[in-house]
């Protein structure tokens, strides 16, 4: 008998249907020579500290660092899990062959390997590796089963990740809780969680410490077109540009035109007076035609970013939605970090487009002719285990509104990559008034190409409308009167992270970049994996290290103090943690040794413990009660600007004035906001949304 083990009951049912197994048993489906069973995600986990050494059960500094000589696994204590495991164990003990049908990724490999180890499986094991749950994909996968040994590096990477998280998390959490937590609350420290929190805290401190600087802009209106005075580049900007050009010997000395930055009003008014009476002359007209490529296909992170920007969905919500679309067979495997397709997908694309019956207005122009095969879409070198997220061609049915929105994004991106490039013309007009140079740039769409696939309300179209500035026809040498003016401006602080920008920062180890090629290069050092980043952000909410204000992620006082307390850069540096993540990826590729990774990790944890134990300062951290997810995320209010304000609570006026109130705690009236300190009283951060809590200062 051949035993197939899937990660979920729904996936097991799909596989059983294809294999012709029809007889439902308790915990598995049987028939046609197969027994198809399932896990519920993780059934096994690494053992707790006290299960290695009884003395590790109590939290004390003398037991640190806790590093078992050999790590072991155990069954998760849950009656449902235990019952299912014993069913799996019995099937595996009697099996002639096992087919691992777990999710085709690092976590899926680890889940099933642990179950097989715990069950004591001895027979040969094959691996089903598929990116879609359609009948065609499952049949094709079973016709190309691989040997389990091919995936040993993937398992070793997953095991190294789990052991690394256990070793650092268990030791650092106990260390900081006992040393600095006043015994009131666990201070959770994690290999990815803490550097992610540090990104938010550091951005918040940048904003709080930002000093706005006043400056002025000189502009003038000529022929109903606003021209801006050209400002000289700073020495730093010039040097940066020179570095980008490479070899100094081959560099041409570029002109640096323009006026010095206008730093005071008197300087600006003098320039205004200088040009007021002089005519405006057009000194140059430069028109360049170019192309804009279609947006890339989605990987998980870019899909989470887009859903957060467009719909306000959290990273965790988007992951659950795309997982549901995968299980409903309408989208391919979601936990991916590439935006490319392998070349063997190209012959299947006409069939996938044909299956998108709700999009015939866009797919019809592509029928009857060869599809574009761009290297920006099809590139085997950019695809490892899985390709980008695309539709499967199965007609979507019974989708929720939220699922339909996510599917729509995926479908339109897929269709757009086969459309022509968008052709644009960019015109730059230079002008001069009394030796002061001015410039304006306009953009015009000559042929929309792929843009027709996107509905008017999409951000691509909105951005286009903002950018598009069709200029009148100017001729070099023309001149005439103009109307100059001086505009007061202030430098702006960096923006707080949203889930969208935080996901990008995690992907690139804190380096926020817009360029797709550069972002791909930085992904190697990203922190976390696409499939785990959403859970990391949710953990920060649960620990009350961060909260949400509209879309912005704000660190709580506990979160800020925790990062300020940690002096060990390895615990909070996104860049350093990214290097560890890179080593885990290299273990997958067989270019780095798992044993060496774990030895380095143990050495790092030992050094962290010794450094903290040697701290003789009396540093402590402010402890606050953790909020629930429900409290931290009033979803409807965040997504709909038109949501009516909640009515004032009847009991607002009768709150006792003797109650203990502190900035940062959860509002006792609405349960959603955080207490903030004003000049004369404490209030709630949700006051704009109707919360009437107010308490006089002591």
CATH of residue 73: 3.40.50.140
Q: From 238, 110, 160, 51, select the one nearest 586 (Cα to Cα).
A: 160
Q: Are both 284 and 427 inside the same structural domain?
A: yes
Residues with a known catalytic role: 333
pLDDT of residue 651 exceeding 60: no
Whether residue 645 is contained in a domain is answered as no
Residue 360 contacts by C-beta under 8 Å, 6 or more apart in sequence? none
Contact 190, 165 (CB under 8 A): yes
Report residue 550 as tokens.
């509209």
Whether residue 644 is contained in a domain is answered as no
Q: Are both 413 and 482 inside the same structural domain?
A: no
- The pLDDT of residue 237 is 76
Q: From 319, 322, 302, 300, select the one nearest 310 (Cα to Cα).
A: 302
- The pLDDT of residue 633 is 36
Whether residue 247 is contained in a domain is answered as no
Q: Are both 289 and 428 inside the same structural domain?
A: yes
Burial of 660 (0-12, 13-18, 19+ CB in 10 A): exposed
Give all strands (DSSP E) within 214-309, no chain letters. Answer: 214-222, 225-229, 280-292
Helix (H) or strand (E) holding 92: helix 79-94
CA-angle at 676, arms to 675 and 681, nearest 5°: 100
User: Which residue, 490, 519, 536, sits at the end of a domain?
Assistant: 490
- pLDDT single digits (tens) 87-137: 999 999 999 999 999 998 889 999 999 999 999 999 999 999 999 999 999
pLDDT of residue 410 exceeding 90: yes
Q: From 494, 622, 490, 523, select the one nearest 213 (Cα to Cα).
A: 490
* Range 40-49 average pLDDT: 95
Average pLDDT score, the chain: 87
DSSP SS3 for 419: coil
- The pLDDT of residue 297 is 98
Could you give phi then psi for residue 431, rounded to 5 degrees?
Answer: -140, 170
Quote the percentage of the chain above a pLDDT of 70. Answer: 84
CATH number (domain holding residue 317)? 1.10.290.10
Q: Are both 45 and 127 inside the same structural domain?
A: yes
- The pLDDT of residue 511 is 74
pLDDT of residue 47 exceeding 90: yes
- The pLDDT of residue 673 is 64
pLDDT band at 644 (very low <50, low <70, confident <90, very high): very low
User: Which residue, 472, 490, 508, sits at the end of a domain?
Assistant: 490
Q: Are both 289 and 316 inside the same structural domain?
A: no
Helix (H) or strand (E) holding 695: strand 694-696
Q: Which residues of 519-557 are buried (b: 16+ CB within 10 A; e: fewer)?
A: bbebbebbbbbbbbbbebbbbbbebbbbbbeebbbbbbb
- Distance between CA atoms of residues 374 and 367, nearest Å: 17
pLDDT band at 664 (very low <50, low <70, confident <90, very high): low
Whether residue 113 is contained in a domain is answered as yes
Q: Are both 16 and 59 inside the same structural domain?
A: yes
Burial of 262 (0-12, 13-18, 19+ CB in 10 A): buried
Residue 126 contacts by C-beta under 8 Å, 6 or more apart in sequence? 97, 98, 99, 100, 145, 146, 147, 148
- pLDDT single digits (tens) 474-517: 999 999 999 999 999 999 999 999 999 999 999 988 775 666 66
Whether residue 650 is contained in a domain is answered as no
Other C-beta atoms closer than 10 Å to the C-beta of 303 total: 28
Comparing 20-34, 556-570, 616-630, 639-653, which segment has the lowest mean pLDDT? 639-653
Q: Are both 322 and 371 inside the same structural domain?
A: yes
pLDDT band at 256 (very low <50, low <70, confident <90, very high): confident
pLDDT of residue 210 exceeding 80: yes
- The pLDDT of residue 674 is 65
Domain that holds residue 523: 160-209+495-614
Residue 404 contacts by C-beta under 8 Å, 6 or more apart in sequence? 396
pLDDT of residue 689 exceeding 90: no
Q: Are both 309 and 180 inside the same structural domain?
A: no
The domain total for the chain is 5
Give the chain's length.
698
Q: Left (φ > 0), alpha (ψ -120 to 50) or beta: where does 317 sit?
A: alpha
* Range 16-24 average pLDDT: 97
Q: Left (φ > 0), alpha (ψ -120 to 50) or beta: where does 684 sit?
A: beta
């Amino acid at each position: 008998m051949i035993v197939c083990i899937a990660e979920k009951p729904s996936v097991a049912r799909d596989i059983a249907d294809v294999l012709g197994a029809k007889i439902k048993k308790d915990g598995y489906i049987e028939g046609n020579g197969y027994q198809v069973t399932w896990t519920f995600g993780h059934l096994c986990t690494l053992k707790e500290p006290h299960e290695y050494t009884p003395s590790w059960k109590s939290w004390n500094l003398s037991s640190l660092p806790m590093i078992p000589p050999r790590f072991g696994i155990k069954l998760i204590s849950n009656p449902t899990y235990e019952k299912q495991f014993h069913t799996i164990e019995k099937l595996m003990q009697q099996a002639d062959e096992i087919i691992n049908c777990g999710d085709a990724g690092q976590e899926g490999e680890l889940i099933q390997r642990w179950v097989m180890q715990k069950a004591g499986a001895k027979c040969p094991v094959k691996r089903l590796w598929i990116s879609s749950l359609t009948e065609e994909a499952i049949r094709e996968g079973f016709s190309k089963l691989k040997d389990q040994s091919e995936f040993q590096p993937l398992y070793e990477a997953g095991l190294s990740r789990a052991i690394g998280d256990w070793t650092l998390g268990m030791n650092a959490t106990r260390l900081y809780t006992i040393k600095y937590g006043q015994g009131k609350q666990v201070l959770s420290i994690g290999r990815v969680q803490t550097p992610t929190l540090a990104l938010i805290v550091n951005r918040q401190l940048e904003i709080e410490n930002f000093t706005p600087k006043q400056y002025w802009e000189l502009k003038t209106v000529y022929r109903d077109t606003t021209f801006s005075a050209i400002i000289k580049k700073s020495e730093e900007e010039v040097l940066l540009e020179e570095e980008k050009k490479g070899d100094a010997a081959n560099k041409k000395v570029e002109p640096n035109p323009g006026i010095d930055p206008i730093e005071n009003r008197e300087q600006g008014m003098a320039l205004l007076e200088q040009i007021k009476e002089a005519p405006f002359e057009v000194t140059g007209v430069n028109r360049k035609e170019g192309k804009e490529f279609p947006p890339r296909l989605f990987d998980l992170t870019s899909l989470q970013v887009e859903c957060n920007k467009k719909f306000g969905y959290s990273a965790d919500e988007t992951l659950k939605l795309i997982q549901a679309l995968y299980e409903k067979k309408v989208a391919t495997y979601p936990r991916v970090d590439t935006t490319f397709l392998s070349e063997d997908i190209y012959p299947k694309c006409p069939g996938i487009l044909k299956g998108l019956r709700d999009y015939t207005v866009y797919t019809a122009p592509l029928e009857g002719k060869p599809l574009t095969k761009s290297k920006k879409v099809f590139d085997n070198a950019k695809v490892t285990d899985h390709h980008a997220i695309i539709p499967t061609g199965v007609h979507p049915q019974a989708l929720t509104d939220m699922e339909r929105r996510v599917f729509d994004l995926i479908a339109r991106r897929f269709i757009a990559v086969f459309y022509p490039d968008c052709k644009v013309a960019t015109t730059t007009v230079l002008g001069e008034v009394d030796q002061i140079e001015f410039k304006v740039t306009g953009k015009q769409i000559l042929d929309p190409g792929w843009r027709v696939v996107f509905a008017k309300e999409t951000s691509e179209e909105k951005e286009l409308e903002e950018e598009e500035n069709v200029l009148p026809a100017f001729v070099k040498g023309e001149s005439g009167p103009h109307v100059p003016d001086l505009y007061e401006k202030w430098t702006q602080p960096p923006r707080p992270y949203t889930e969208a920008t935080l996901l990008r920062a995690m992907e690139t180890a804190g380096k926020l970049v817009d360029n797709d090629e550069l972002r791909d290069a930085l992904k190697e050092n990203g922190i976390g994996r696409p499939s785990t980043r959403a859970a990391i952000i949710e953990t920060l909410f649960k620990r009350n290290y961060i909260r949400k204000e509209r879309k912005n992620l704000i660190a709580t006082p506990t979160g800020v103090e925790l990062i300020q307390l940690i002096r060990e850069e390895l615990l909070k540096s996104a860049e350093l943690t990214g290097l560890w993540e890179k080593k885990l990826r290299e273990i997958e590729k067989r270019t780095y040794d798992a044993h060496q990774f774990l030895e380095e990790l143990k050495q790092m944890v030992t050094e962290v413990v010794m450094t903290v134990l040697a701290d003789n300062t009396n540093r402590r951290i402010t402890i606050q009660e953790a909020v629930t997810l429900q409290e931290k995320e009033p979803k409807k209010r965040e997504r709909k600007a038109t949501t009516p304000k909640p009515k004032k609570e009847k009991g607002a006026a009768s709150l006792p004035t003797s109650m203990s109130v502190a900035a940062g705690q959860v509002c006792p009236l609405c349960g959603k906001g955080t207490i903030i300190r004003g000049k004369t009283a404490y209030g709630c951060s949700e006051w704009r949304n109707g919360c009437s809590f107010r308490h006089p200062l002591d």
